[in-house]
Amino acid sequence: MNVYDNLIRETLNVLQSQSFVQLPVRECRWNMRDTNEFLMGKEVAFELGDRFRDSVVYHVPTSDTALIGEDKVFLLGQDLPEIRKNTNFSRVVLFNIDDIPDPNKAYIGVRKLNYERYKIIPEGYMVLSSSFENKENVRVSKKAIENGLTFETLGNLYIQHYKQMPGVNHVQIYFIAGDFDFVKELVGLSKKVNEVTNAFDHILKNVILDCDVCPLKTICEDIEALRELHFAVNKK
């Protein structure tokens, strides 16, 4: 799985130019729910995310251990116990997964990783996601803050959950709490990730076999792995 590698490199270049704090990776325990809970206003300590300002949540996989070779959790901005008011929020998750030679199975694996986030529901952490906008709005309960919920805990809960999935080897998570100008670059990269995934789907469906009239031609030309995939599927 290398169709997203250039976008991971671009993402890391943006993220590593900032002063993130690396948080410990460790076994964490927290009550997890099967379904999203509804938190009333009086139960909420603050909300994370702002649909009217630059923010983003996206997920990108690779099989290259040189890019993603270990589990890591990073934070830029205030930790949850320090936040006193509604705060903008972004999250980027990068995966190292087993290589999947079959393109159809690889595409299904990408989709599963994207949708798996909806199954990670810590108590006191009510998530409202917009897959169309690549954003999350979160209500954090007063009780969760009192009980010690932090981004360190959240990051490790995500890692523990994802690594239960077959083929997931390592997970790196970047939490961004607050408004930062560089997030605009991440928003742009998230759109490119979506474009690659759509091109991936398009190629497998063989919707258009003539590259000259395909609206996704420029994307395939920019990403050698997609071109190779396209030719391999057409040969079949």
List, as one string, the DSSP characters of 82-137.
G--S-B-EEEEEEEEE----SHHHHHHHHHHHHHHGGG--BTTEEEEEETTTTEEE
Q: What's the mean pLDDT in 169-193?
A: 97
**Locus of tokens 């490790």:** 156
* 177 contact partners, CB below 8 Å, separation of at least 6: 48, 75, 76, 77, 78, 79, 83, 87, 88, 89, 151
Q: What's the pLDDT score for residue 219?
A: 56
Residue 213 confidence (pLDDT):
46
Q: How many residues does the chain have?
A: 236
- Mean pLDDT value across residues 52-69: 96
- The DSSP bridge partners found for residue 166 are none
Q: What is the DSSP letter of 216?
A: T
Answer yes or no: pTM beyond 0.85. yes
Q: What is the mean pLDDT of residues 147-154?
A: 98
Q: Which residue has the higher pLDDT, 64 or 236?
A: 64
228 confidence band (pLDDT: 50, 70, 90): low
Residue at token pair 């959240």: 154
Pairing assessment for the beta strands 135-141 and 44-48 based on DSSP bridges: antiparallel
pLDDT above 60 (res 216): no
pLDDT in tens, 19-36: 999 999 999 999 999 999
What is the distance of C-alpha 20 from the center of its chain? Answer: 17
pLDDT at site 103: 78
Nearest to 116 by CA among 81, 82, 72, 166: 166
Lowest mean pLDDT, pick from 37-41, 77-81, 147-151, 213-217: 213-217
pLDDT at 231 over 50: no
Which is more confident, 2 or 83? 83
Phi, psi of 69 (to 5 degrees): -120, 0
Kindly state the DSSP code that residue 61 receives in the 8-state scheme: E
- The mean predicted confidence, pLDDT, of the chain is 88
77-121 pLDDT, tens digit each? 999 999 999 999 999 999 999 998 887 788 888 989 999 999 999
Residues 6+ apart with CB under 8 A from 172: 68, 70, 71, 72, 73, 74, 93, 94, 95
Question: Could you tell me the pLDDT band of residue 123, with boundaries at 50, 70 and 90?
Answer: very high
Is the pLDDT at 234 greater than 80, yes or no?
no
* pLDDT tier at 51, thresholds 50, 70, 90: confident
- Contact (Cβ atoms closer than 8 angstroms) between residue 204 and residue 103: yes
Q: Give residue 223's pLDDT.
A: 53
Residues with Cβ within 8 Å of 21's Cβ and at least 6 positions away in sequence, in order, are 74, 75, 76
Query: pLDDT grade, residue 133 (50/70/90)?
Result: confident
